[in-house]
Amino acid sequence: MMIQFKGVHKYLFGQHILKGIDLEIKSGETFVILGPTGTGKSVTLRHIVGLHVPDSGEVFVDGMDVGRLRGRRLEKLRSRFGVLFQSGALLNWMNIKDNVALPLREAKRLKEDLVEEKVENVLSTLGLREHWFKMPGEISGGMKKRAGLARAIVTDPELILYDEPTSGLDPIMSRKIDELIVSLKNRLHITSVVVTHDLISAFNIADRIALLNDGRVEECCSVEEFKKSENKYVREFIAAQTAGS
Amino acid sequence: MIIPYEQDYYPPSNNPVIYVGRSFLKVVRHAGRGLLMVFEAFLFLPLILRSRDEVARQMFLAGIKSFGVTTVVALFTGMILALQSGLILRDYGQEMRVGTLVTEAMCREMGPIMTALILSASVGSAIAAQLGTMAVSEEIAALEVMSINPVRFLVMPRLAAMMVMCPVLTIYTDFIGIVGGGAVASSQLNVSWGLYYENVLFMLGLKEIWIGILKSWVFAIIIVGISCYEGLSATKGAIGVGIATRSSVVISFLLVLISGYFLTRLFY
pLDDT in tens, B49-99: 988 999 999 999 988 888 999 999 999 999 999 999 999 998 898 888 899
Residue B11 lies in a domain: no
* A216 Cα to chain B: minimum distance (Å): 20
Contact check, Cβ <8 Å, B145/A81: yes
The two counts, helices (H) then strands (E), for chain A are: 9, 10
Flag whether residue B40 sits within 8 Å of chain A, measured between CB atoms.
Answer: no
- The residue segments making up the domain with residue B26 are 16-267
Number of domains in chain B: 1
Residue B157 lies in a domain: yes
Percent of chain A with pLDDT over 70: 99
Residue B10 lies in a domain: no
pLDDT of res. B8: 67
Residue B237 lies in a domain: yes
Of A81, A83, A106, the CB nearest to B153: A106
Residue B114 lies in a domain: yes
| Whether the predicted pLDDT of A202 surpasses 70 | yes
| Contacts with A12 from chain B: Cβ below 8 Å | 6, 9
Q: Which residues 6+ apart lie within 8 Å of A184 measured at CB?
A: A153, A160, A190, A192
For range B169-189, the mean pLDDT: 94
Contact check, Cβ <8 Å, B139/A90: yes
* A102 Cα to chain B: minimum distance (Å): 9
Flag whether residue A72 sits within 8 Å of chain B, measured between CB atoms.
Answer: no
Q: How confident is the model at residue B5 (pLDDT cuts 50, 70, 90)?
A: low
Q: Which of residues 15-54 of A touch B (CB under 8 A)?
A: 46, 49, 51-53
Residue B6 lies in a domain: no
pTM: 0.87
Of A13, A85, A102, the CB nearest to B138: A85
For range B29-48, the mean pLDDT: 93
Q: How confident is the model at residue B218 (pLDDT cuts 50, 70, 90)?
A: very high
| Whether the predicted pLDDT of B2 surpasses 60 | no
Query: Taking the CA atoms of chain A, what radius of gyration do you get in angstroms?
Result: 18
Mutation target vs A (from B147, B158, B241; most A CBs, 10 A cutoff):
B147
pLDDT of res. A245: 54
Nearest CA in chain A to B146: A103
Mutation target vs A (from B51, B52, B146, B152; most A CBs, 10 A cutoff):
B146
